[in-house]
């Protein structure tokens, strides 16, 4: 996706010697997890543009640039700095960065600050390691000058510089008291970084720093924000998406004790009160007449999905659509193929269901400055949207990123942040916190797209693949969320179709995207396109294997003969699951593979099906993953487990339906998610290699649906092509 960083040179301005400390880096700190870390952050903020602050007490404060939403980034990224700095991890304090995209922007997101799409480690890993190595050279240079010895004679151990020839040592904190930053900073290349085999921290199972506070209940999420004089807000949105208010009667709201005011908004009506309960009661008491003429008025899921299916299976690209990827002759050979396998795949909308509901707090100052506290995946997007709507310059907007109680792509969007910003504008300088109810959350999510896919595979007389055609149809994510990228790509929606790109050794293939415009906001749902595109790809690979009377594992290995990392994870997961072993009566295994986010993963599931009820039971899941350098291997396994659980829930149970533009679900009672007693044993093996780190947070999800579908096909002879595979749908298929 992008070229690797080879050299980093920081300007002298980026190395600052402060009062009793030497500060090195490219950002500033803001309050984070605990009181001690907040104190460290405040000290660091006295020296702007810094990654690292080394105090005279030996405490090393390292800035973490990405949002922490349970994926471990607040530990993994600082570990990369500490590794080549040779810091003593027991003396490291970690502080969440402020919003400073010039300093902290992720190059894989075009330089903005955002966390998601499995790009954090891939975007920051080498940069942070080089920054730590450069800081270490500055410390070595200062110690060499102090002792009047060649720098080449010095070495480091965690937190200490050694001159072994004279048996002298000096702690980093002692060096911080006198260090002078050289006018010409040392240049560090990737070749100078520690070999992985010599690393103290990278590749080791370091405890995550956020776990202790979360276990004690001391961790501060957005919903925990408390500010002096804080007011509380709630927002009533229309029952039909994108509908407009015609009139409002707020007499009932005014009668609620604690009510302060109503605030008309471009997309609904806001209420401000002196407590959360009063704000919600006042919102519920509003009487609003809506225009009932929204673009989504005719949006009924079952009917729309039929039209998507028609668009996906209409292979005349001239009518609508763009080419995503083409190899060789594309689909041209399919017309003359001896046999053509065809299949349609359907996926319903799904909600994110983050444990922490959407919330944000904002405050306006008299000089049109805005400060925001939010559990956001993208402070850059929160800043941009707030600036566009309020006309306040971005440099006058400060975003404090808190811990996130789940993200899964939902908190990339900034609608919940905008609620707080607009209500705070009407609050006479007082901060306002807006907390969505679960019903608000379910009915106004940025859903996983509803998608139809059509796949045709041409086979010759020997059942070899001679052409592959994959067409996807649905509402665009990028057309709404990133219109510039959507336009620059000529109408291709990279998140929507990701995962359809081909790694198998098939010479002639064509992938297309047929955009449908129905007005429903869709967004980034964990693994985004991979959750449905891999379902299509991997089940079709199984169908071709069946046509060849080949074992699905052996067939994949044959098609991946030029991809040794892919072969390795498939072989390993087959070994873990004892693939060739006969299963108990009524059970079968299914396999699937994914190469998304520069990570190779293969999964095998063991399932059974109750043919009377249609319920699928998953008894075991095995996964083998090669993500290259695993910064924290145990955490990699945990993230894979989490994504598998999320994928199991989505592929078996979850579904949002619209009727005439209105969402029918509202809470967990009618939007069921997988319960703990429904989660099978999950066995994950991390296969560490010396390849550059790949993405981890989402990689476990794409293979789970096709692996289940392939296992069910083995049991019943029926192909599951409509997600979710709920009991009613499976029962109907088996009837």
Task: Please name which of 136, 190, 135 lies closest in space to residue 5, comparing C-alpha atoms.
Answer: 190
Q: 72-90, pLDDT tens digit by residue?
A: 999 999 999 999 999 999 9
Strand 268-273 and strand 259-265: the pairing is antiparallel
Residue 501: is its pLDDT beyond 50? yes
Average pLDDT over the chain, rounded to whole?
92
What confidence score (pLDDT) does residue 134 get?
Answer: 87
- Measure the CA–CA gap between 494 and 10, rounded to whole angstroms: 33
Q: 641-679, pLDDT tens digit by residue?
A: 999 999 999 999 999 999 999 999 999 999 999 999 999
Q: Can you name the residues that pair with 722 across neighbouring β-strands?
A: 346
SS3 188: strand
Residue 15: is its pLDDT beyond 50? no
Q: What is the mean pLDDT of residues 102-128?
A: 95
DSSP state of 89: G
Q: Can you name the residues that pair with 359 across neighbouring β-strands?
A: 435
Asked whether the CA dihedral 609, 613, 616, 619 is positive or negative, the reply is: negative
CA 239 to chain centre: 29
- The residue length of the chain stands at 735
- Measure the CA–CA gap between 479 and 496, rounded to whole angstroms: 10
What confidence score (pLDDT) does residue 16 get?
Answer: 34
Q: 197-219, pLDDT tens digit by residue?
A: 999 999 999 999 999 999 999 99
What confidence score (pLDDT) does residue 40 get?
Answer: 43
Task: Please name which of 150, 148, 138 lies closest in space to residue 175, comparing C-alpha atoms.
Answer: 138
What confidence score (pLDDT) does residue 35 get?
Answer: 39
Q: How confident is the model at residue 315 (pLDDT cuts 50, 70, 90)?
A: low
What confidence score (pLDDT) does residue 30 get?
Answer: 32
Q: 502-511, pLDDT tens digit by residue?
A: 889 999 999 9
Q: How confident is the model at residue 180 (pLDDT cuts 50, 70, 90)?
A: confident
CA 146 to chain centre: 47
In this structure, of 11-25, 40-54, 678-692, the range with the lowest mean pLDDT score is: 11-25
Q: Which domains does the chain have, with CATH numbers?
A: 36-214 (3.30.365.10), 222-293+358-435 (3.30.365.10), 301-349+447-734 (3.30.365.10)
Of the chain, the percentage scoring pLDDT greater than 70 comes to: 92
Residue 37: is its pLDDT beyond 60? no
Q: 386-410, pLDDT tens digit by residue?
A: 999 999 999 999 999 999 999 999 9
In this structure, of 156-170, 175-189, 622-636, the range with the lowest mean pLDDT score is: 175-189
Check if the beta carbon of residue 720 is closer than 8 Å to that of residue 709: yes
Residue 8: is its pLDDT beyond 80? no
Q: 345-387, pLDDT tens digit by residue?
A: 999 999 999 999 999 999 999 889 999 999 999 999 999 999 9
Backbone angles phi, psi at 727, to 5 degrees: -60, -40
Q: What is the mean pLDDT of residues 262-268?
A: 97
Q: 395-448, pLDDT tens digit by residue?
A: 999 999 999 999 999 999 999 999 999 999 999 999 999 999 999 999 999 999
What confidence score (pLDDT) does residue 106 get?
Answer: 96
Segment holding 653, helix H or strand E: none
Q: What is the mean pLDDT of residues 595-611?
A: 98
Task: Provide the strand spans (E) within 180-300.
Answer: 188-189, 231-236, 245-249, 259-265, 268-273, 287-290
- Measure the CA–CA gap between 544 and 462, rounded to whole angstroms: 11
- Measure the CA–CA gap between 545 and 547, rounded to whole angstroms: 5
Q: What is the mean pLDDT of residues 573-598?
A: 97
What is the C-alpha radius of gyration for the chain, rounded to an integer number of angstroms?
Answer: 27
Strand 369-374 and strand 397-401: the pairing is parallel
Residue 234: is its pLDDT beyond 90? yes
What confidence score (pLDDT) does residue 317 get?
Answer: 53
Check if the beta carbon of residue 342 is closer than 8 Å to that of residue 454: yes
* Helix residue spans in 391-461 (DSSP H): 415-425, 438-443
Residue 697: is its pLDDT beyond 70? yes
Q: How confident is the model at residue 183 (pLDDT cuts 50, 70, 90)?
A: confident
Q: 267-307, pLDDT tens digit by residue?
A: 999 999 999 999 999 999 999 999 999 999 999 999 999 99
What confidence score (pLDDT) does residue 38 get?
Answer: 38
Q: How far apart are the first and last CA of the chain?
A: 46
Residue 14: is its pLDDT beyond 60? no
Q: How confident is the model at residue 32 (pLDDT cuts 50, 70, 90)?
A: very low
């Amino acid at each position: 996706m992008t070229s690797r960083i080879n050299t980093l040179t920081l300007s002298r301005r980026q190395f600052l010697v402060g009062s009793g400390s030497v500060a090195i880096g490219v950002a500033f700190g803001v309050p984070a997890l605990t009181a001690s870390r907040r104190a460290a952050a405040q000290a660091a903020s006295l020296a702007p543009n810094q990654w690292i602050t080394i105090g005279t007490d030996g405490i090393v404060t390292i800035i973490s640039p990405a949002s922490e939403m349970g994926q471990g980034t607040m530990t993994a990224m600082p570990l990369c700095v500490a590794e080549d700095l040779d810091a003593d991890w027991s003396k490291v304090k970690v502080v969440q960065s402020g919003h400073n995209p010039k300093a902290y922007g992720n190059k894989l997101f075009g330089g903005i600050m955002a966390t998601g799409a499995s790009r954090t480690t891939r975007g920051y890993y080498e940069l942070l390691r080089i920054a730590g190595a450069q800081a270490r050279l500055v410390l070595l240079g200062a110690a060499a000058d102090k002792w009047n010895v060649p720098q080449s004679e010095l070495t480091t151990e965690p937190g200490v510089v050694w001159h072994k020839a004279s048996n002298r040592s000096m702690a980093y904190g002692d060096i911080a008291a006198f260090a002078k930053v050289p006018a010409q900073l040392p240049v560090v290349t990737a070749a100078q970084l520690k070999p992985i085999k010599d690393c103290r921290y990278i590749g080791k199972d370091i405890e995550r720093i956020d776990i202790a506070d979360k276990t004690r209940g001391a961790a501060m999420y957005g919903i925990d924000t408390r500010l002096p004089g804080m007011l509380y807000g709630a927002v009533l949105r229309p029952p039909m998406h994108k509908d407009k208010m015609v009139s409002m009667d707020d007499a009932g709201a005014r009668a609620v004790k604690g009510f302060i005011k109503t605030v008309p908004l471009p997309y609904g009506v806001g209420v401000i009160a002196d407590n959360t309960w009063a704000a919600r009661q006042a919102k519920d008491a509003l009487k609003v007449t809506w225009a009932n003429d929204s673009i989504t008025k005719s949006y009924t899921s079952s009917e729309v999905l039929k039209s998507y299916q028609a668009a996906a299976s209409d292979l005349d690209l001239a009518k609508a659509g763009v080419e995503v990827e083409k190899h060789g002759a594309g689909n041209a050979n399919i017309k003359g193929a001896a046999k053509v396998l065809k299949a349609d795949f359907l996926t319903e909308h799904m909600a994110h269901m983050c444990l922490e509901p959407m919330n944000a707090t904002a405050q306006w100052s008299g000089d049109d400055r805005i400060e925001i506290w939010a559990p956001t995946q993208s402070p850059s997007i929160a800043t941009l949207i707030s600036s566009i709507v309020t006309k306040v310059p971005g440099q006058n907007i400060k975003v404090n990123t808190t811990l996130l109680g789940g993200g899964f792509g939902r908190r990339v969007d900034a609608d919940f942040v905008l609620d707080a910003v607009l209500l705070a504008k009407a609050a006479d300088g007082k901060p306002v916190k807006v907390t969505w109810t679960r019903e608000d959350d379910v009915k106004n999510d940025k859903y996983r797209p509803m998608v139809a896919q059509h796949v045709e595979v041409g086979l010759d007389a020997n059942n070899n693949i001679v052409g592959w055609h994959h067409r996807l149809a649905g509402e665009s994510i990028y057309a709404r969320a990133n219109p510039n990228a959507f336009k620059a790509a000529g109408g291709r929606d990279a998140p929507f179709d990701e995962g359809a790109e081909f790694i198998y050794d098939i010479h002639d293939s064509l992938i297309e995207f047929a955009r449908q415009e129905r007005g429903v906001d869709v967004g980034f749902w964990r693994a985004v396109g991979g959750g449905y595109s891999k379902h299509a790809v991997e089940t079709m690979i199984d169908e071709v294997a069946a046509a060849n009377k080949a074992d699905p594992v052996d067939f994949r290995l044959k098609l991946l003969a030029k991809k040794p990392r892919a072969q390795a994870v498939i072989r390993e997961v087959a070994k873990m699951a004892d693939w060739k072993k006969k299963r108990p009566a009524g059970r079968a295994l299914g396999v699937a593979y994914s190469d998304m986010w520069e990570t190779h993963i293969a999964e095998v599931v063991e399932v059974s099906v109750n043919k009377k009820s249609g319920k699928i039971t998953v008894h075991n899941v095995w996964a083998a993953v090669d993500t290259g350098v695993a910064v924290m291997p145990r955490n990699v396994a945990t993230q894979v487990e989490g994504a598998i659980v999320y994928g199991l829930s989505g592929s078996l149970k979850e579904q949002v339906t619209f009727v005439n533009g209105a969402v029918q679900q509202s809470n967990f009672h009618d939007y069921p998610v997988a319960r703990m007693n429904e989660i099978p044993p999950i066995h994950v093996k991390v296969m560490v290699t010396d390849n550059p780190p790949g993405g981890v947070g989402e990689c476990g999800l794409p293979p789970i649906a096709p692996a289940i579908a392939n296992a069910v096909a083995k049991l019943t002879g029926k192909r599951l092509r409509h997600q979710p595979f709920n009991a009613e749908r499976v029962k109907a298929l088996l009837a």
